[in-house]
Amino acid sequence: MLSYRHGYHAGNAADVLKHFTLIYVLDYVKKKDKNFIFIDSHAGAGKYSVSDPYMQKNKEYLQGIEKIFKINNDDIFLKNYLNLIKLINSNSNLKIYPGSCYLAAKRLGVDDKLHFIELHPTEFLNLKKNFEDDSRIIIENEDSYKRLIKLLPPKEKRAVILIDPSYELKDEYEKVSKMLSSCYKKFPLGVYIIWYPVLSNKKSESFVLNILKENYKNLSHIEMITDNSNDGMQGSGLFIINCPWSIEKDIKKSLETIFNCLKKSNDLSKLLFKNIIN
């Protein structure tokens, strides 16, 4: 949606869940000594200044990254995520919150490739500015629902594909389901990360059921409800297709730590982690 600006929400609880999981998946894929490509279907601006009016309007980051930015924890997977954000901020206070594509660009190797798609004209220009000197990256001002499938299968044969639209359009859940199904049929070996919001109007429930009914291989489902008193977004979820086989053993404890830091003090907060390895 062309009115959507992610800066209003950057660094919130949903970003923490999404970006923590993304770093884990990228690090896992990197273990194999073969190049791969990271594709972000809705890239946004790439990074966001905490002092920017967009971030300061709702200050959602105060209920997200700010709560865990300086926690002391020996969990290696949580440290991998937090240390990268600290590195981007020169190990000082939180001044910049990096989006998915910025985190991926910092994490991938010199021979890996990145492909970012962003439809919003202003966000696209900001995105180009933030990555103008990185030859690994292709940035396109396109509609992902038409463009993404044309990028598959990639010549690298290995890919992590993040699908994370705003879901502000009425038919967005359906469009994501259809796009994912088409992309998977064309490139079933890709690692797909699909983010979605959990809203008070229950719109995500049929979307979740539709994904679970599909025959996606090695599927992980994570859902984190941190504020059930909210009339809008109460939490968010992720599906990871072709997920790392050790994902539950690796990061379940990390997710519990994040959840306990971010949840509001009510009995309706919950963390769901379901693995369907097949």
What's the pLDDT score for residue 49?
94
Domain boundary assignment for the chain: 6-276
Fold for the domain defined by 6-276 = Rossmann fold (3.40.50)
Query: Active site includes 164?
Result: yes
What's the pLDDT score for residue 4?
65
SS3 245: coil
What's the pLDDT score for residue 97?
96
Contact 145, 121 (CB under 8 A): no
- Give average pLDDT by consecutive 10-residue segment, the chain, 278 residues: 72 97 98 97 95 92 94 94 96 93 98 97 95 96 98 98 93 96 98 94 89 95 87 90 96 97 83 89
What's the pLDDT score for residue 106?
97
What is the side-by-side order of every strand in the sheet holding 270-276? 137-140, 113-117, 37-40, 159-163, 191-199, 233-241, 219-225, 270-276
What's the pLDDT score for residue 212?
95
What's the pLDDT score for residue 267?
66
How many Cβ atoms from other residues are within 10 Å of residue 183's Cβ?
22
What's the pLDDT score for residue 252?
96
Contact 236, 224 (CB under 8 A): yes
From 164, 171, 227, 250, active-site residue: 164
What's the pLDDT score for residue 155?
97
| pTM of structure | 0.96
